[in-house]
Amino acid sequence: GGVGNTTLAQMVYNDERVSRYFQLKGWVDVSEGHFDVKAIARKIIMSFTRNPCDIEDMGNLQNMITAQVQDMKFFLVLDNVWNVQKEIWDALLSLLVGAQLGMILLTTRDETISKMIGTMPSYDLSFLTSEESWQLFKQMAFGFIDQHMDQQFEGFGRKIVGICGGVPFAL
């Protein structure tokens, strides 16, 4: 956590090439402890339509999602997936049939999830090196990267950077 999974997904989601290519885009935060198809289906509908959805019947959810994606190219981000079983994942994917093309970008901290659901190799974000961490810290704390600073500030700053362990969010 904190290495930039969601930030990278946001950059892809907001890229103009994605917006030009896909007719329909949606973003769903899946951070609950369990992967509930009904809840996620409602969130997908809300994300695609930008309207609230309180439908409880699975058949009606299926029909509404099918109507949204029918003959469309869609891009869907499922952010912060923690737990999923293969059969539940398959049930969720079955809701999206009828699309001309569908692309799902999933963020997770669990490599087993990305391997189980992925049709493409996962992209693993790593911690920053100590020098990358120091550059980011200087930029965020002092507003500059290349200027020299008082040695006392630098020593204190580098201690903070060491404590953050290369995690961009912490820096």
Using one digit for the tens of pLDDT, what is the confidence trace for 36-60? 889 999 999 999 999 999 999 999 9
Cβ-Cβ contacts under 8 Å for 117 (sequence gap 6 or more): 84, 86, 89, 106
Does residue 161 register a pLDDT over 90?
Answer: no
Give the helix, strand, coil percentages of the chain, each rounded to 5: 50, 15, 35
pTM confidence score:
0.76
pLDDT given at position 118: 74
Whether residues 140 and 105 share a domain: the answer is no
CATH of the domain at 79: 3.40.50.300
Low-confidence winner among 39-43, 99-103, 150-154 (lowest mean pLDDT) = 150-154
Whether residues 107 and 155 share a domain: the answer is no
pLDDT given at position 138: 83
Q: How many domains does the chain have?
A: 2
Whether residues 86 and 157 share a domain: the answer is no
Q: What is the mean pLDDT of residues 145-165?
A: 77
**Can you give the residue range of the structural domain that contains 78?**
5-117
Largest CA distance in the chain: 66
Nearest partner of 133 among 102, 171, 82, 77, judged by Cα: 171
Whether residues 96 and 165 share a domain: the answer is no
Whether residues 102 and 159 share a domain: the answer is no
Residue 123 lies in a domain: no
